[in-house]
Amino acid sequence: MGRAYQNRKESMAKTAAAKTKVYSKYGREIYMCAKQSGIDPDGNLTLRGLIDRAKKDQVPAHVIDKAIDKAKGGAGEDFNPARYEGFGPGNCMVIVDCLTDNPNRTFGDVRLCFTKTKCKIGTQGSVSHMFDHCAILAFKGDDEDAALEALMMADVDVSDIENEDGLITVFAPNTEYAKAKQALAEAFEGIEFEVDDIQFIPQTTTPVEGDDVEMFEKFLDMLNDLDDVQNVYHNAEL
């Protein structure tokens, strides 16, 4: 699969307003994960991965703790996942993942981002069949055979494994995330994941050139400014 995956863009934001949006998105995702699958990170590996990513993106501990405490109480908002697909500038393919408490509002907001940048929102499944929904785990090391053996022993359905520049990267179906992470943690004591995520990886890329580049950046900025948008995946090659 090579390096065709995109790491999350919620790296340290430049402004206080942008930081607040990043913190809010992590808080919402942590809250829903803890509420649905348990508040103990040791028993909920997806939650542990979220917390680790949040810490790497310098999300304050009180934001993480507040989200988990809210899930512990069982009260609070009810967010539901919503996924929108379509074609962005230069006819690139786009998937927008959201968590929303008002699907009608969210759909309207996302559709406006498409229409204002002369893009076309599609129906469910219109582009997602051209992406692989993958768990991605990367860690420093050079023994990919040992990693593959550990995964195979745990009966993990590995899609691909690569070793480049001292970094072993494992790709597996998204449904294998917890099992793959547990197998690697047990096989490599003290393992620290450089990448620990579930993403949509494009099977092909679409060149975006000329005036479409500026429009594409505007399109992404508009989507990322929406509170309900958690992640945007695309196959644009700039």
Give residue for tokens 């590995």.
Answer: 158
pTM: 0.85
Distance CA 228, CA 97 (A): 9
Distance CA 206, CA 208 (A): 6
Which long-range contacts link 122-129 to residues 24+ away (Cβ below 8 Å)?
122/85, 122/86, 122/87, 123/85, 124/83, 124/85, 125/85, 126/85, 126/86, 127/85, 127/86, 127/87, 127/93, 127/94, 127/95, 128/83, 128/85, 128/95, 128/200
Decide: 93 and 206 in contact? Cβ < 8 Å: yes
Distance CA 156, CA 23 (A): 33
Which of 185, 201, 183 is CA-nearest to residue 131? 201
Which of 26, 54, 7, 9 is CA-nearest to residue 224? 9
Give the residues of the chain that fall short of pLDDT 50. Answer: 2, 7-13
**Angle, CA of 50, 51 and 55, to the nearest 5°:** 120
Which of 193, 200, 40, 31 is CA-nearest to residue 99? 31
Decide: 104 and 128 in contact? Cβ < 8 Å: no
pLDDT at 17: 66
- 3-state SS record for 168-184: EEEEEEHHHHHHHHHHH
pLDDT at 45: 84
Distance CA 31, CA 41 (A): 12
| CA dist 214 → 14, 19, 130, 166, 224 (Å) | 20, 23, 24, 35, 15
For 94, the token pair is 């786009």
pLDDT at 4: 54
H/E run at residue 198: strand 193-202
Decide: 200 and 95 in contact? Cβ < 8 Å: yes
Cα Rg, the chain, nearest whole Å: 18
Q: Give pLDDT tens digits for 162-216.
A: 998 899 999 999 999 989 999 999 999 899 998 888 999 999 999 999 999 999 9
